[in-house]
Amino acid sequence: MRHLLNPLDFSVEELDELMDVALDISKNPQKYAECCKGKKIATLFYEPSTRTRLSFEAAMLNLGGSVLGFSSAASSSAAKGESVADTIRMVSCYADICAMRHPKEGAPLVASLNSSIPVINAGDGGHQHPTQTLTDLMTIRSLKGRLNNITIGLCGDLKFGRTVHSLINALVRYDNVRFILISPNELRVPDYIRQEVLTGNHAEFKEVTQLEDVMPELDILYMTRVQRERFFNEEEYIRMKDCYILDAKKMELAKPDMLVLHPLPRVNEISVEVDKDPRAVYFKQVQFGVYIRMALILKLLEIQV
Ligand code: NCD
């Protein structure tokens, strides 16, 4: 039985296959409409989410399966002190697969060690968010046509932003990907990403603080929100929160075919005027997220179509 805890749990070839299935799903949704009849996904969300949880639920419903779960720790037995290990043993009796989001790094790993059903990490603290990465890879591959030979700018909260950590982890495996890390000094990527992931894989990267300066170089701009819930104090958050705001004026500096991605939710970091720019693809990204999660559910449940 396989789980998805980290984007590296799948090889580059497996990711390609997954994206091929997702593409086929997008073209022939009817073909897949009954594949998971009688199957259930449990969404165990100990931390707020709109997109990710609904995306998993929509994915399973589109496959003809059904969903159960909870959307906050307060509404589950975690509030009574139940451990993740016990919760997953119980959920294994109710569902065929589960997606877990948890504020503690490593919680989905603990779940996987105690589970008799596949566990998908739907975001663990400031650590990883592999299904967002699958979504991001699918978006870039579909709209840019390739995952190699790109310069990607990652901008905003690179310290706490788990989507950034997972995406860097995944992209270092492709040829000639240049990373430009744009953040205030206080919100730079963690050391392990800089040393083990980037330097360790001989990836070309630079760290800068000004977005405008690097805009013309980028093929992809991946904007992120400052992760308020992971700050130790509110004053620090307030000082950082509007460090980057992408607006129409900054978009004028970019290549005509640069793509803007964002895992969402957006707060202030992309001004709404950018939404009408054809290079802004963050809402298309949401749609790709459903297709790739459908493909992932099929893979982990070992359902052949
Ligand atoms: C991201 C997350 O939860 O890490 N959201 C998402 O899943 N699409 C990004 C964020 O919350 O900023």
Please give the chain's pLDDT, 305 residues, in tens.
999 999 999 999 999 999 999 999 999 999 999 999 999 999 999 998 888 999 999 999 999 999 999 998 888 888 888 999 999 999 999 999 999 999 999 999 999 999 999 999 999 999 999 999 999 999 999 999 999 999 999 999 999 999 999 999 999 999 999 999 999 999 999 999 999 999 999 999 999 999 999 999 999 999 999 999 888 899 999 999 989 999 999 999 999 999 999 999 999 999 999 999 999 999 999 999 999 999 999 999 999 98
Residue nearest to atom 12 of ligand 1 (CA): 225
Q: In 10-98, which residue ranges form alpha helices assigned H by DSSP?
A: 12-27, 51-62, 84-94
- The response to whether residue 262 sits with its C-beta less than 6 Å from ligand 1 reads no
From first CA to last CA, the distance across the chain in angstroms is: 19
Residue whose tokens read 């799948």: 10
Q: Is the peptide bond before 265 cis (omega within 30 degrees of 0)?
A: yes
- The response to whether residue 285 sits with its C-beta less than 6 Å from ligand 1 reads no
Check: CB of residue 204 under 8 Å from CB of residue 180: no
Query: Given CA atoms 109, 114, 118, 122 in this order, what sign does their dihedral have?
Result: negative
Ligand 1 nearest atom to the CA of residue 264, by list position? 8
Q: pTM for the complete prediction?
A: 0.96
Q: CA 296 to CA 4: how far, in whole Å?
A: 9
Measuring CA to CA, how many Å separate 54 from each of 44, 153, 282? Answer: 12, 28, 16
Q: How far is the centre of ligand 1, averaged over its atoms, from the C-alpha of 218 (Å)? A: 22
Ligand 1 nearest atom to the CA of residue 224, by list position? 12
Residue whose tokens read 């959307």: 71
Check: CB of residue 105 under 8 Å from CB of residue 124: yes
Strand, helix or coil at 83? Answer: coil
Domains of the chain are 7-128+289-300 (3.40.50.1370), 131-285 (3.40.50.1370)
